[in-house]
Amino acid sequence: MHHEYAVDPHVLGSSWQTFRYLIEKFGFDKGRLIAEFPRKAWFRDVYDSASGFSPMQKSRLEILLRDAKRTKVVRTGRSYDPNSAWLSNALTEHQRLPFQAIIAQENVLGSAAVLLAEEFDEQHPRMMIANPVCVPRDAASIASALSALLENGSHILVVDPFFNPFNARYKSALRECLRIVKARNPNAVCEIHYRYHENASSPVDIEKAAVNVFVGVIPDGMSIKIFCWKEKDGGSDFHARYLLTEAGGIAIDAGFSAEGPQQTTDMHRIDEAFCKQRIAAFDKAATEYELVENVLLISATGQVTYV
């Protein structure tokens, strides 16, 4: 669903036109993410390279870079040797763990992975990212398709009207998703939002069985919030399934039940504005749906508190 690119910060700072053209091609909604490479220095290097920008352009650059930090640039923990050139570092890392492409000012070694900025074309095969994508419905494949958002969202919502923590198929997908969050993004706030219906477990049911259900599913040191919602008479339908974050999201046609790789589900990326709209609908104080009983905060040990 998302692919990582190495973009030479000096390319982005080479001209205002180049910066604007390139930066708009990236984002969680587009499936293209820029690696913060080198980490902690990439943003500074872009800004320092923009010495030829006018004061107004530099001011706009700062705003767009702040936005890019939320929605376009991701920390990947890649190694970087400050004594070597940027392109040399990028090619070394590409050999270890391939980028989707490397966007640079030159390609002295003739690498097929390098796209020259002056010849950049959004229709290049390395820039064309499918949407939607057909994903096998096993836990590892579901989590892998969602991994970029799981690794980078500070507020992560699993939205599935039929989510059932007592069902092994839902538990396996949740376990795999939370494993990724724990490894790469342990400070994220994680929530599950499901719909109350005649076959659904109530929050009281979940609270009583939390130790048996969630121990071994929620990683040590983490906790999740569980919200149960009821549709209002004549109100909005609660049917769609999503993974939502503040930076972007993915709609999942068949939801989070890991039925096995013999089945598939379509997933498609959705943009930041739509994500914010849907997140607002699932806020505790929201009125689009009716909140059923208490919101549960469940720890890795199965301890339950109300929030």
Is 64 contained in some domain?
yes
Question: The tokens 């724990």 sit on which residue?
Answer: 182
Is residue 217 within 8 Å of 175, Cβ to Cβ?
Answer: yes
Distance separating alpha carbons of residues 107 and 87, to the nearest angstrom: 8
Question: The tokens 């998703």 sit on which residue?
Answer: 177
Is 124 contained in some domain?
no
Q: How many domains are there within the chain?
A: 2
* 165 and 199, same domain (yes or no): yes
Q: What is the mean pLDDT of each run of 10 residues along the chain (307 residues)?
A: 97 95 96 96 96 96 96 93 96 97 94 90 91 97 98 97 96 98 97 92 95 97 97 93 96 97 97 95 96 96 97
CATH number, domain with residue 87: 3.40.50
Is 234 contained in some domain?
yes
* 257 and 155, same domain (yes or no): yes
Which domain, by its residues, includes 267?
Answer: 133-306
Distance separating alpha carbons of residues 224 and 214, to the nearest angstrom: 10
pLDDT, residue 122, reads 84
Is residue 2 within 8 Å of 243, Cβ to Cβ?
Answer: no
* 137 and 214, same domain (yes or no): yes
Is 158 contained in some domain?
yes
Single out the residue in 119, 153, 175 at which a domain terminates: 119
Single out the residue in 54, 85, 119 at which a domain terminates: 119
Q: How far is CA 303 from the centre of its chain?
A: 28
* 114 and 174, same domain (yes or no): no
Is 173 contained in some domain?
yes
* 148 and 95, same domain (yes or no): no
* 286 and 148, same domain (yes or no): yes
Is 127 contained in some domain?
no
* 45 and 79, same domain (yes or no): yes
Is 21 contained in some domain?
yes
pLDDT, residue 145, reads 98
Nearest of 226, 142, 221 to residue 176 by alpha carbon = 142
CATH number, domain with residue 245: 3.30.870
* 151 and 112, same domain (yes or no): no
pLDDT, residue 82, reads 95
Nearest of 4, 24, 28 to residue 16 by alpha carbon = 24
Single out the residue in 91, 119, 147 at which a domain terminates: 119
Question: The tokens 């499936």 sit on which residue?
Answer: 31
Q: What is the pTM of this model?
A: 0.94
* 35 and 144, same domain (yes or no): no
* 115 and 137, same domain (yes or no): no
Distance linking the first and last C-alpha atoms of the chain: 33
